[in-house]
Structure 1
Amino acid sequence: MSKLGTLGARLHHGEVGYDFVKNRKIWYGISILITITAIVGLAVRGLHMGIEFQGGAVFTTPKHMSASVAQAETWAEDSSGHDAIVQKLGDGSLRIQISGTDTQQSDQIKDDLSQKLNVPADKINADLVGPSWGDQIANKAWQGLGIFMVLVVIYLAIAFEWRMAVAAFVALVHDITITVGVYALVGFEVTPGTVIGLLTILGYSLYDTVVVFDSLKEQTKDITKQTRWTYSEVANRSINGTLVRSINTTVVALLPVAGLLFIGGGVLGAGMLNDISLSLFVGLAAGAYSSIFIATPLVADLKEAEPQMKALKKRVLAKRAQAAAKGETADSVSGEGAYEADEPDDAAPAVVGPRNQPASRGRGRGRPSGKRR
């Protein structure tokens, strides 16, 4: 068995553990700092919306163009008076995207580009997106994202409880804010592929969160009937029990996405892969982080505010103080493994090992084995 598998088994059985919940203020501070950075980047730089959202024209040249991306970008901006995005496709053709143009301007820009690129005008393919259609697409995207968030909160509130639904919602907002902020800081174009990537990573983020929540729900069914662990400690055990699973699924998901982003978009120059691969890469990493360091510790905070959990915590601490005064070890108080309901003090000790069956009283005394005659 590999070292990671051995660690996962030990974490699952409670033999080792990392106190994520105890250090939750550190994780909250890191998340707040990253979120503020993302919001500042979004406010200062803004999002570079694609023509699908704001309207514009896309010109595609024939294959094997000799002009460089920088030259084509300069010529397109001079011809249109607007910012232009130029991408060199795998077959050597150029994709020139200019926002804020109408049909009449598009025809004029196409003629200018044909002269500067030394290409016949009929060989340049032009696609025009109207601004009203772009606004409609943007509104539909926001509506889809809003409906997704509402349905997620309703489902989690029904399947688990409202505190877990609130914690999952906070984690989702955290992931969206970081991903959008990275887009603003990097300057990548926001396209419908970006929206698809966002919805995909939100679903993945929820998967990790729900796995931890399901374990937590199972382990806290009768938590008030025992005095060995507080809710926060059981929540921490749930995180540790699913930690290696979360790491494995995240790494496996990030590897192909990293290939799309760094090799496909960076090395091979397939720029159209950047819009979806960046959202997936950042979102997957943020989702794995938030499910461990944000969602579950936040649930623990919300639950510890309940009167029942406050009373439980007092009983647990009182029992530990009493045990410490008697000189008992910490393990005998806090224990390892899944908790069980407290037994009465006069309960008989458990029998370990094989048990001897009592001899029969009325049958077969002094008689050899075999058939009865």
Structure 2
Amino acid sequence: MTVEPWVWTATIIFIVALLAYDFIFHVRKAHIPTLKEASLWSALYVGIAVLFGVGVWYFGGHQMGGEYFAGYITEKALSVDNLFVFLVIMASFKVPREDQQKVLLFGITFALITRTGFIFLGAAILESFAWAFYLFGLILILTAGHMLKKDDHSDDADNLIIRLAKRFLPTTDHYDGDKLFTMENGKRVLTPMLLVMVAIGGTDILFAFDSIPAIFGLTQNVFIVFTATAFSLLGLRQLYFLLDGLLDRLIYLSYGLAAILAFIGVKLVLHALHENTVPFINNGEHVDVIEISTGTSLSVIVGILIVTILASLFSKAGKAQTAVNNARRHAVNYLDATYTSDQAERERLYSLLVAEEREILTMPTKYRNKVKDIDAIRAKVDEAHAVHREMSGTA
């Protein structure tokens, strides 16, 4: 189905308007979103994406609608996995809680711009070179294997670009609100806020290398690829605060995503064989192989995610890991004087820490002792208790 230019224009204007609204009414004034605010806006953005998909299904037919929903669900799942890395980066740079929204919105906007470029580049490559389907399929299969091998998400946010910036440009280790530049000793210097945005932007580019081939494995309709990607990114800021504390619970998410990427990779290879023009494969003629339908793809993707999420939520090891890691994070944030200037937020962190400790004590020892660096985490929690007693004047 050919999408009219006015539909493209209206869709882009709508997406830009959502980003602008998000910035003007939510992000421009630094604050910590409440659970209610994050929940309502997350639900709203998912609702917008679903309604858009219903419109695509109605006007474009079930094939186009199925491709949109398969692409949206896949991209949304990958974006949730990306939140782990965002969490690590912002913890590494000690971004104040009030200013994390601005960093996330920048990351989303940057990702939308860069992925749009990758989408049109990918479409041009696939249109001109049929063998590129083999390449995209291989990328996804290799990425799936890599996801199975990694134990956890890297915490090395201080990448090459950041090290070069710190070495050759005047920088400071102190934040000045959400400013990108500040004055220090009479000189204009970069703040960590600019550096963390560079780190987020750099990781977004890396994410695109598995995200874009994955959705092209489900559809080659550029409009569907663009809109499914865009709507999966919108609302990611709110989802970050909604899922904060629950991300560690999804201990099997990487396995589920690896299975999805491997499945789409195989689907791409099968499609490449069906459309084959490579001379050394079947003498350049197409190979008579089964092709996986959009309905089958959607069913497999949804099925894998459901199994992955349920397995994570009901896993005793997952519950223990979540509670211990949350206790560690809340203890570290409570002890960090720069994490937030909001005293109510600090008290909330301590209350969560106490509640998590109670929950941990009800769990079997064999599960909680399996958590990495458990002794160091216990020491950090004890330190948080000592500081709280000192601040409250209790013995």
TM range (shorter): under 0.3
TM-score normalised according to structure 2 size: 0.26
TM-score normalised according to structure 1 size: 0.27
Kindly indicate which of the two structures has a greater share of residues assigned to strand: 1
Q: Which has the larger radius of gyration?
A: 1
Kindly indicate which of the two structures has a greater share of residues assigned to helix: 2
